[in-house]
Amino acid sequence: MAMSMGSTGGVKSDINVTPLVDVMLVLLIIMMIVAPLLQQGVAVTLPRALNTAEKPETEGQTVVAITADKRYFVNALQVEPTQLQKRISDVLETKKEKVVIIKADQDVEYGAVMQAMDDLRAGGIEDMGLITETRRGDNTALGRSAGAGGGK
C-alpha cells in the first residue's frame, strides 16, 4: 500500500495494477512462444512442387504423417501401420467432413505412401490430399523456360 501525500495522512486504498500487468505480459509471451510449438505436429521434410494450391491448415483436419523411416502418425499420435485404418475410422467417426491430409517425408518410399492410401480407401475414405511445399521461381523443373510460348 502507498501512503497518501495529502494532508489527511491516511492510508491510500487504491489497487496497484502494475504487478498484475507484469504477470499478464509474462503469460502472454509464454503463450506466444508455446502455441506454435503445439501445432507443429510431426517433423517431416515435405517434397517441393510448382503447381500447388494454398490451403490453410485448420484444427479440424485429419492428418496422416509418414516419416522417412516409415513411422505413421495420425494427428501427431504414432500408430502402427496395421492399426492405421482403425485409428482413422475412429477419428473420422464423429466428423462431418471425411477428408484426410497426407504429409509424407520426401525421402519415404513410394510404397509406404501408397500403402497408407490403400488402407485409407479400404476404410472408406475417398477424399485424400497430399501436402507439398511450394517451389518458387523454378520453372525449369517442369520443362518450362522463361521465354517459351506458343508462337504463330
> Does residue 117 form part of some domain?
yes
Spatial separation of the C-alpha atoms in residues 130 and 55, rounded to whole Å: 11
pLDDT of residue 10: 73
pLDDT of residue 29: 93
CATH code: domain of residue 124? 3.30.420.270
> Does residue 73 form part of some domain?
yes
> Does residue 14 form part of some domain?
no
> Does residue 28 form part of some domain?
no
> Does residue 60 form part of some domain?
yes
* Residue 66: domain span: 48-134
146 pLDDT above the threshold of 50: no
> Does residue 62 form part of some domain?
yes
> Does residue 89 form part of some domain?
yes
Give the total number of structural domains in the chain: 1
> Does residue 30 form part of some domain?
no
pTM tops 0.75, yes or no? no
Spatial separation of the C-alpha atoms in residues 58 and 31, rounded to whole Å: 19
Q: Which three cell numbers stand for residue 20?
A: 498484475
Under the banding of pLDDT at 50, 70 and 90, the label for residue 24 is: very high
